[in-house]
Amino acid sequence: MRNLLILIVGIVAASSTTDAALKDAITNVAAPFQREIQKHIDTQKQFLGKLLNIDPDSQLSQLFPAIGQLTNLTKLKECYNPSIGDEEFNIFNNTIFDVIKTYYKVFPENFQLTKFGDKAKNLFQSTQEIGQYTVDCLLNPSEYQLGLTQLTDFSGSEYNSLLGAARNDLEDRLIVSNFRERPKPSNNESDDDDDNDGVSTGSGSSSSSDTTSGSSISRPTSKPRKPLGGIGIGLGRRKRQEVEVDPICFPKNTEPLPEKFDWRKMGKVTPARYQGSCGGCWAFASLAALESAYLIKGKTSNKNFDLSEQQLIACGRKDGCNGGTSVDAFNYILANNGVTDEGTMPFDAKKNNNCDKKKKKKRHARIKDYCLRGIYAKVDGKPEELTDQQIQYAIREYGPVYATLNADHIAVKHLKTGMYSNKKCSKQTNHAILVVGWDKKGWIIKNSWGKKWGDDGFFRMKRGSNMCGLNTYITFPIL
Ligand SMILES: *[C@@H]1O[C@H](CO)[C@@H](O)[C@H](O)[C@H]1NC(C)=O
Ligand SMILES: *[C@@H]1O[C@H](CO)[C@@H](O)[C@H](O)[C@H]1NC(C)=O
Ligand SMILES: *[C@@H]1O[C@H](CO)[C@@H](O)[C@H](O)[C@H]1NC(C)=O
């Protein structure tokens, strides 16, 4: 914009017009431009279309004057977190070109030459979202900070494809899965010739019982087994049969809860992983729960114990990057009599969806069973409505639990630090995460969007009001 003005001033001056004419010329050109900028701030959605018209050497502080004029960095940091990787970089104090350059220095894995135009647009759009939040938050203080994350250059649809925990068909699938008899776990190595065990063929388009009954979870040799939690339906029968949550899913320790509890402090939580642009959150959250359970029970002392999400995504469901549930994950692990580790089947789900029949039998972790509690389960004949306290008891007794939440709010994409909350958050959950503890006001949650999202891959979310549907249901393995 400065260049533009200099150019105009130059032309006007060269033609030796009066001061009044000069002023007039600047006003005439500058005013619509200023109005455009104002309009962009007001309507972020319309902004994208204008992107190519912006001078890449202009600073974001021109678009967000309220931030640009702020010299108190401490105040700014109450709303905006400038850390990326190990560095600090204030997007509002730099040119748009530098924001893009610096972003790909820190997130080189996101760089794709062929998509550079789209990615730059996404990045620019994201800076507008972060800027708008920052302006709002400076006026009305909020408790969390946004910034550049691993997902900042994802488009809206790329972001949505990450949220693979429950579309409608998956939610039905969760119930249908729970209706089924579960596979019987076996500790016998000779008993694993079956190729197709545990594969959920949920088609993604239909949720009818016929679709799901095409896959056989229970093997011919397995005895029918009562689910530990939830609503049951007999195999071959369509009639719903209510099954109460098994007593082993209720914690015995009901001593008063501590104000703060964090399994990370006890060294029982493995590092946050990165699900890439695959909707496999369900596999990541399920295995995060199992890895923690192994550490808690002393079955491994490896703080980087790393099980294979690839196996669940490739073998446990057809099109596992398109979504799944904890029931798919744990039923598969039961049927396969275990799950292998990351080294044996590394994560490359977008490129390779083949289930390796030899590798899947190199088992590194097993479960005896798992518990499902919440609205898909029944207690005293009614769907269980989980209170925070019940979830806290479960975390303290069994370890971190798989849960789901709604992650549609754009702030979640750019979340860095603080206590996330959103009064308008939908309770229709679509993203699986691991709840590893709590503090005075919030849940402590492990995500699977890499260590450069949130706070080392973790975040806190306000509790006490079923925020974003977190209390909908929980799942945890029984070793
Ligand atoms: C922006 O940069 C200037 C100097 O380059 C510095 O004085 C100022 O504190 C910075 N403001 C913020 C909010 O980072
Ligand atoms: C900067 O902001 C912080 C936090 O709002 C405030 O405590 C501090 O007094 C401010 N410093 C100045 C110099 O205004
Ligand atoms: C597995 O089953 C075979 C035959 O039923 C039995 O001989 C063997 O001891 C079992 N192995 C284990 C580890 O239980």
Span 131-158, pLDDT tens digits:
999 999 999 999 999 999 999 999 999 9
Residue 163 lies in a domain: no
Same domain? 393 vs 270: yes
Q: Which residues are catalytic?
A: 281, 431, 447
Which ligand is located closest to the Cα atom of residue 59? 1
What percent of the chain is predicted at pLDDT more than 90?
49
Which tops the pLDDT comparison, 230 or 300? 300
pLDDT beyond 70 at 251: yes
Q: What is the mean pLDDT of residues 222-237?
A: 33
Identify whether 334 is part of a domain: yes
Task: Give the residue among 201, 57, 81 at the shortest CA–CA distance from 133.
Answer: 81
Do 67 and 140 sit in the same domain of this protein?
yes
User: Which domain-ending residue is among 153, 181, 214?
Assistant: 153
pLDDT of residue 95: 82
- The pLDDT of 388-416, averaged and rounded, is 96
- Candidates 152, 150, 145; CA nearest to 76 is 145
- Binned at pLDDT 50, 70 and 90, residue 166 comes out as low
**Residue 290: per-residue pLDDT:** 98
Residue 270 forms part of a structural domain = yes
83 vs 2, residue with greater confidence: 83
Within this chain, do residues 145 and 231 fall inside the same structural domain, yes or no? no
- Do 28 and 116 share a domain, yes or no? no
Residue ending a domain, among 95, 126, 153, is: 153
Say if residues 182 and 334 touch (Cβ distance below 8 Å): yes
| Spatial CB neighbours of 319, under 8 Å, sequence gap ≥ 6 | 204, 353
pLDDT at 161 over 90: no
* Predicted pLDDT at 58: 77
In a domain, 162, yes or no: no
CA distance 348 to 473: 29
Q: Whose CA is closest to atom 2 on ligand 3? A: 188
The answer to whether residues 21 and 109 belong to one domain is no
CA of 185 to the centre of ligand 3 (A): 14
pLDDT at 170: 59
Instruction: Name the 3-class secondary structure at 7.
Output: helix
43 vs 416 pLDDT, higher one: 416
The DSSP element (H or E) to which 178 belongs, if any, is: helix 168-179
Q: What is the mean pLDDT of residues 198-219?
A: 32
Same-domain status, 25 and 116: no
Quickly list DSSP for 384-422: ----HHHHHHHHHHH-SEEEEE---SHHHHTEEEEEE--
324 and 194, same domain (yes or no)? yes
What is the pairing mode between strands 415-420 and 458-462? parallel
CATH number at residue 294: 3.90.70.10
Q: How many domains does the chain contain in total?
A: 3
Say if residue 472 is in the same domain as residue 391: yes
Classify residue 159: in a domain, yes or no.
no
Do 14 and 101 belong to one domain?
no
What residues does 475 pair with on adjacent strands?
372, 402
Which numbered atom of ligand 3 lies nearest the CA of 190?
A: 1
Query: Could you tell which of 83, 93, 130 is best to mutate to test the pocket of ligand 1, judged by most ligand atoms within 8 Å of the CB?
Result: 93
Residues 227 and 81 in one domain: no
Does 224 have pLDDT greater than 60?
A: no
d(CA 270, CA 295): 9
Residues 47 and 27 in one domain: no
Q: For residue 182, what pLDDT band results from cuts at 50, 70 and 90?
A: low
Q: Are residues 339 and 474 in the same domain?
A: yes
* pTM (predicted TM-score): 0.79
Q: What is the pLDDT of residue 173?
A: 54
Q: Does the Cβ of 16 fall within 6 Å of ligand 2? A: no
221 lines ligand 3 (CB under 6 A): no
Atom of ligand 1 nearest to the CA of 72: 13
Q: End of a domain among 120, 153, 186?
A: 153
The CA distance from 384 to 374, in Å, is 5
Residue 258 lies in a domain: yes
In a domain, 161, yes or no: no
User: Is it the case that residue 10 has pLDDT exceeding 80?
Assistant: no
Closest residue to atom 2 of ligand 1, CA basis: 93
Q: What is the DSSP string of 50-87?
A: HGGGS-TTSBHHHH-HHHHT---HHHHTTTB--EETTE
> Averaged over 2-30, what is the pLDDT?
38
Q: Which domain holds residue 19?
A: 1-33
The answer to the question of residue 59 being in a domain is: yes
